[in-house]
Structure 1
Amino acid sequence: MAYDKSIPFSFLKDGVFYFERRIPRDVQHHYDTQKIAYSLRTRSAMVAASRARRAADQLDEYWYHLRIKDTALPGKHRLRIAARNQSHPPSKTLNETVNLSEAVGIYLRLKGKGRPATFKRAAERSCGYVIDICGDKDLQAYTKADANRFRDSLIERGLSGSSITRVFGTVRSVVNFGASELGVTMANPFGNVYFDRQADVKDRVPLPDDVLRKVQSECKRIDDDLRWLVALVSDTGLRLAEAAGLLREDIILDDQVPRIVVRGHPWRRLKTPTSAREVPLVGASFWVAKRILAQTDASPFAFPRYNKSEETNSNSASAALNKWMKPMVPERCSMHSFRHSMRDRLRAVECPSDIVDQIGGWQTEGVGQTYGRGYPLSVKANWLRRIV
């Protein structure tokens, strides 16, 4: 890591410039860190200087607003006196007022319990974008013009239609929840904002059968923990995070149906309630399970490499494994393609869709699907054997 004094608030790492700035003490209580650092996504010193200066200016402006917010309003006591002297109550009392940043805090405090860290990050990031563009206003002060300006800024950032949809969905939820908690009835300006939801959206592509077999063959040839993770996902359809966060005790081989127990852990929560399931081990996944349990190290984790902190580092796993697979797989294929392939492979043997959903942990529509315990392991195992 090298610092270049000619480019303010930045450092160079592996040829890429990064922005870095310490948070002033007087506004540090608004943050959960002491500094802000992120990639400027450029190797050009000229571009890095421009982006770093722009980011520094935006922070200075935002910190100014935070300081003003934390400072008592001159003459505020006179406003209280004036309110008491009115013959009728003010149209908007103090408990009916909340800024967007405060609404995020309420939202996370009440709805964020037991949710993964990504839930908090999505709320803070999405609403942070709004604050950057439109300011940290009272919820009822935002207008349709603000929402449209926010949309335009996301498009200028180069976000795809699906990413913009997710950001707007989070902002709408925070605003609706904040207004509901305060008992305020309002039209959410971030609802019904038009944009092309299909812009730059790339379909996820399943792996062709011959490519899938080639990848599995390479996994067995190299035979290390990275390739075990790929092979495990390939014949179970597990999400990468589900597989990376497994304990060794989640792998059961000494039973009539060898299987993996997918359950929530403090270091890796499940995406949905239906994600909790048992998946039979067949083909490459059965081979991996035996290789993992044959290891004599002391770690309780199936993949210790990605569980060295309080949270499973599935992003690191995704980056490393996608990089390794890239020369072998078609364009737009990735680790997530194994889940798409699993559905197609089960369709090819005419597996009923509700069994497919139980194997992959997908949500099945209909009230009746919530009754009972689902299909026995032996039934799921029979269908999985057909595809290997």
Structure 2
Amino acid sequence: MTHEIQIAPRTYLNTQITRRINVSGIDVDEDLIKELLIKHLQDFNSKQRPKLSDAFEIYMTENTSAHRRKFKLNANQYFKRFVAQFGDMYLDELRHWHITQYRDHRLAEGLHPNSVRKHNNILNAMINMAFKHLDIDRLSPFRGLQIRGEGENTRPIPNITKELMHEVKAFLIAHPTPASMVGLIQLNTGFRISEPTLARLEDLVLDHDIPHLWIRKNELSDRKTRASIRAVPLLGISLEAAKELHSRAKRKNSPWLLP
């Protein structure tokens, strides 16, 4: 539909009615005012409504474990996966449906239910902390998630017998790789695999009446409690394996027990 009429061969008259509003003595097009108002409200909402990225930033700033390497890796991974599936949503748009869909997607990928629970724990804690710091009076929609198969073992764990221990020991000795040396160290110490793996060379003290390995904080590893900082004696095959790793690290001029 045209709003122009021709009143001469090359002359047209626009008949469209434009409403104008007087603002402080100035006549302004009403449509222009509407456009500006809509834009202002949209900008205001986008700035005032926090998003998932805001929640993540708060979580990584305020959480007491945010400096831990493993924690940062997991939190970043779970956050990015959720955003990849749903986008950087506004917090007030989050529903329990979103975490159930996220759960189903991860399970369909083959992730174990216990691992899906770890994802949920981090995401739920992130939302709870954001609500607290942003004074949002609301419970996390990620709470109370049910995960089918959680806690079930997907494969039976064999009984640990002396015979099995001897078999494992013999196999590790026959295959003297760095990983095997770590396994031999674990046999007599009960170390977590990360403890000797992330130890510095200086943490291994061999010129002592009781050779030992210090488990303490460094660039790659942190200690959650004071009790986890300790010196663990080495003896038998564990000591021999530690000496072998020490020699290999020395040959490579590495500051780490496992270069």
TM-score, structure 1 length as denominator?
0.50
1:132 corresponding residue in structure 2: 84
1:131 to 1:239, Cα distance in 2 relative to 1, 3 A: same
What is the CA distance between 1:207 and its match in structure 2?
4.1
Following the alignment from structure 1 to structure 2, what is the Cα–Cα distance between the partners of residues 153 and 115? 28
Task: State the Cα deviation string for residues 261-284 of structure 1 (Å, max 9, x = none).
Answer: 101110233466543222111221
Q: Is the 8 A contact 1:162 1:201 kept in 2?
A: no
Match of 1:313 in 2: none
**What letter corresponds to residue 123 of structure 2 in structure 1?**
V
- Note the C-alpha offset of 1:180: 1.2
**Separation of aligned partners in 2, 1:126 and 1:247:** 30
User: What's the % identity of the aligned pairs?
Assistant: 21
Query: What does residue 106 of structure 1 align with?
Result: 58
Which ranges of structure 2 fall in alignment gaps of 5 or more residues?
1-34
The aligned counterpart of 2:245 is 292
Residue of structure 2 aligned with 1:276, choices 220, 223, 229: 229
Residue of 157, 177, 194 corresponding to 1:241: 194
CA distance in structure 2 between the partners assigned to 1:170 and 1:203 by the alignment? 28
Write the letter of the residue equivalent to 1:180: K
Which residues of 2 match residues 1-388 of structure 1 at below 5 A? Answer: 78-79=40-41, 94=47, 97-111=49-63, 113-116=66-69, 118-196=70-148, 197-199=150-152, 201-202=154-155, 207-270=160-223, 274-294=227-247, 296-297=250-251, 298-304=253-259
The 1:179/1:220 distance shift into structure 2, 3 A limit, reads same
1:94 Cα offset (Å): 4.9
Helix, strand or coil for the counterpart of 1:190? coil
Whole-angstrom distance in 2 between the partners of 1:124 and 1:246: 25
Q: CA RMSD in A?
A: 3.0
Which segments of structure 1 move beyond 6 Å, counting only runs of 4 or more?
Answer: none
Single out whichever of 282-291 and 271-280 deviates more from structure 2.
Answer: 271-280
User: How far 1:198 moved relative to its partner?
Assistant: 2.8
Q: State the 1:235 CA deviation.
A: 1.7
Q: Are the structure 2 counterparts of residues 98 and 80 from structure 1 closer, same or farther at C-alpha, using a change threshold of 3 Å?
A: closer
In structure 1, how many angstroms separate the alpha carbons of the residues matched to 2:68 and 2:200? 20
- The question of whether the paired residues in 2 share the 8 Å contact of 1:232 and 1:288 is answered with yes
Quick one: distance in 2 between partners of 1:209 and 1:271? 33
CA 1:177–1:168: 2 relative to 1, 3 Å: same
Aligned AA (1:132): A
Larger radius of gyration: 2
5+ long unaligned stretches in structure 1: 1-72, 84-91, 305-388
Counterpart CA distance in 2 for 1:166 and 1:205 is: 25
How many residues of Structure 1 are paired with residues of Structure 2 in the alignment? 221
CA gap of 1:252–1:74, structure 2 versus 1, over 3 A, is farther
Q: 1:198 to 1:282 in 2, by over 3 A?
A: same
| Residue identity in the other structure for 2:109 | R
For 2:128, the aligned partner's letter is N
CA offset digits 1:277-304 (Å, max 9, x no partner): 2211122112222333445422222211
Secondary structure of the structure 1 residue equivalent to 2:103: helix
Q: CA deviation at 1:199?
A: 5.0
Relative to structure 1, is the Cα distance of residues 172 and 273 closer, same or farther in structure 2, using a 3 angstrom cutoff?
Answer: farther
Say which SS state the counterpart of residue 213 (structure 2) adopts.
strand
- Residue identity opposite 1:98 in structure 2: P
* Deviations 1:13-72, CA, capped at 9 Å, x for gaps: xxxxxxxxxxxxxxxxxxxxxxxxxxxxxxxxxxxxxxxxxxxxxxxxxxxxxxxxxxxx
TM-score using structure 2 length: 0.72
Between the aligned partners of 1:203 and 1:271, the Cα distance in structure 2 is 31
Instruction: State the 1:239 CA deviation.
Output: 1.4
| C-alpha spacing 1:171/1:285, structure 2 compared with 1 (3 Å) | same
Q: Counterpart of 1:143 in structure 2: which amino acid?
A: R
For the Cα contact (< 8 Å) 2:56–2:79, is it kept in 1? yes
2:4 is matched with which residue?
none
SS at match of 1:261: strand
Q: What is the CA–CA distance in structure 2 between the aligned matches of 1:254 and 1:126, rounded to whole Å? A: 45
